[in-house]
Amino acid sequence: MRIAIAGDHNGFALKSLLRSELSAAGHEVSDLGSHTAEEVDYPALCVEVCARVRDGRAERGIVLGGSGLGETIACNKLPGIRAGLCHDVWTAEISRGNNDSNVLVLPAKRLTDDQAREIVAGWLGTSFKGGKHARRVAQIAALEQGG
């Protein structure tokens, strides 16, 4: 799978770990930064990840921040992006299965490395259920168009 990943200074260390593990598992991972632990503003990182998801250069995106709240807001401002802030495997599976999320946001300050690994695995391993959920995702897409 082609995955775009980015994290701000709070998510830098966990992003680096996940990037390495995803690559080792055979995924094609594009690391879009930050490439240091120095403070950085996250909106531009969100735009880079989401642009790759939207134009098909990546099938999924992962963004890491301290709480993940600002990153989730920024990602969801972009048309065609359905970003889910996930704190555990259950929310990751719901965000994929019910909401067809294409960007996973992780709160780096709240997760251990093992928790993050499990969430990513659950998210990547869950398929969209379709059916009534497809109808709801279509309604969300209509909101992007102003109604």
Per-residue pLDDT averaged across 54-70, rounded?
98
Write down the pTM of the prediction: 0.97
Q: List all residues 6 or more positions away from 78 whose beta carbon is below 8 Å from its beta carbon.
A: 46, 47, 50, 51, 54
The answer to whether residues 101 and 84 touch, using CB atoms and an 8 Å cutoff, is: yes
What the chain holds in terms of domains, given with CATH numbers, is 2-144 (3.40.1400.10)
15: left (phi over 0), alpha (psi -120 to 50) or beta: alpha
SS3 for 102? coil
Is a pLDDT exceeding 80 seen at residue 147?
Answer: no
pLDDT at 126: 98
